[in-house]
Structure 1
Amino acid sequence: MKYLTLLLFPVLLLCAMPAKAEKGFAIGGRFGTLGAGFEVTKALTKRSRLRVGVNAFTFGTSFNEAGISYDVDLRSRNASVIFDYHPLNGRFRVSAGVFYNKNEFDADASGALTIGGNPYVTSLNANVSFDRTSPYIGIGWGNAVKEGKRLTHSFDLGLMYQGSPKVELRASNPAVTQADLNQEALELEDALSSFRYYPVISYGISFKF
């Protein structure tokens, strides 16, 4: 309930804001690398817009790191506040904003595993998380509250910086030392370091009121 309130509050606040140059607001759906979701768009000035949105998805996959095969459950839940500027007063836009970022995943492995350079028979669970507050920059095509348009399409391409991954490892076998777990966690963090930059690609449809 607290998470739902956190997401809905900025949406309600945005709907209450007065637009200075173009009236109305738009509500739309989006789909992309952050999953499926919706957003509300409000005009600030003739060339600027403010968007508030939420996205979510889950995904299962696997990967191998240092000889250990992990089964992965990825969960993504995000809320965003993004400022758009339309330099030509058309559909092209440049964007900057911030995400409340809950990208994280659990990775599980079991059997005869080498952890921190030492052999064990155990199950292993890794929880990987990122910075909760993540800045965003991007470009896009779309203007949901453009005068004379009711139904609009949009496309966004950008990067969210979510910081270096943070790995917590747990083993079922009490013989696994904390030093070996720490070493394995460092190796996982290094292997996943490229995820500090998350590509944000999305397509959306909005309806203006």
Structure 2
Amino acid sequence: MSSLLTFSACVAEASPLPFHGFAAGLGVGTEGVGIQGSTAIIPKTLNLNVGFDYLHLHDSLHTNNVRYSAGVNLQGEPITVSWFPFQGNFNLTAGLFINQNRFSVTGTPTGGTYTLNGHTYTASQVGSLTGKTHFNGAAPYVGIGWGDPMDGGRLTLTANVGAIYEGAPNVSLTATGAAANPQLAGDVQSEQASLNSKISGYQWWPVMGVGLMYRFG
């Protein structure tokens, strides 16, 4: 038994843990307000970063004679690796966002009517006009940053700029009156295509943020 314990102790000394220290803090940016954590895989060279971000926004969209109020929920858990090529503050960062971003839209008539695909309908004919969209669940991220929370003083100010690729958003638009009106059902589909064209630019989400990190140990 003593020989086994001695062997285990030698292995533990020869195989140190792959992570070196830990830092945590708060951040704010275009992806929301969140918490962040970092640890060094290779000190002064490679860090592993995880976090959680959240932000709720309101926006409006217009297509033809329909005005939409949009609720935008930004939520994600970034898992990234930062490489410090010069063993300083500058870094190149890449990884994935566990992406839970989503849009919800509600259409309201202008002047009491909707114009869908060139056809005019009263508000009572259309009923409730709503839509929802989701993005890719795993969204790749690439960017550059400044600040190494695992090196230097206890407190580190960090900054990052990059982009998340979420994939093309696709709104599923429905109208409660479409079930009893085949023409309206077809026009809602055309309106859906027009709305998706309006939000196609959201497949890329720009990332700009700053954070304050505290290193433990």
TM-score interval w.r.t. the shorter chain?
0.7 to 0.9
1:150-198 CA distance string (max 9 Å, x none): 0000111001000001111111323363322221111111121111111
Percentage of pairs with the same residue: 29
CA–CA distance in 2 between the matches of 1:130 and 1:67?
27
Aligned residues: 190
1:74-98 CA distance string (max 9 Å, x none): 1111011001000110111001000
* Aligned equivalent of 1:100: 98
* Aligned equivalent of 1:165: 169
Q: TM-score if structure 2 supplies the norm length?
A: 0.82
CA–CA distance in 1 between the matches of 2:81 and 2:121?
51
Q: Which runs of 5+ in 2 are unaligned?
A: 1-15
Question: Structure 2: which amino acid aligns with 1:79?
Answer: E
* Aligned equivalent of 1:207: 214
Question: Structure 2: which amino acid aligns with 1:179?
Answer: G
Determine whether 1:136 maps to 2:135: no
Determine whether 1:197 maps to 2:204: yes
* Aligned equivalent of 1:11: none
Q: Match of 1:204, SS?
A: strand
* Bigger radius of gyration: 2
Contact map agreement 1:19 1:42 (CA 8 A) in 2: no
The equivalences for 1:29-178 within 5 A come to: 29-46=26-43, 47-111=45-109, 112-121=113-122, 122=126, 123-146=128-151, 148-174=152-178, 175=181, 177-178=184-185
Q: TM-score if structure 1 supplies the norm length?
A: 0.85
CA–CA distance in 1 between the matches of 2:120 and 2:87?
63
Question: Structure 2: which amino acid aligns with 1:205?
Answer: L
Q: CA shift at 1:145, angstroms?
A: 0.6
The runs of at least 4 aligned residues of structure 1 exceeding 6 Å deviation read none
Question: Structure 1: which amino acid aligns with 2:189?
Answer: N
Contact map agreement 2:64 2:116 (CA 8 A) in 1: no
CA RMSD, 1 decimal: 1.6
CA–CA distance in 2 between the matches of 1:48 and 1:145?
10
Q: Which runs of 5+ in 1 are unaligned?
A: 1-16
Determine whether 1:28 maps to 2:25: yes
Q: CA shift at 1:36, angstroms?
A: 0.5
Q: CA shift at 1:19, angstroms?
A: 4.2
CA–CA distance in 2 between the matches of 1:59 and 1:191?
17
CA–CA distance in 1 between the matches of 2:38 and 2:97?
16
Contact map agreement 1:84 1:94 (CA 8 A) in 2: yes
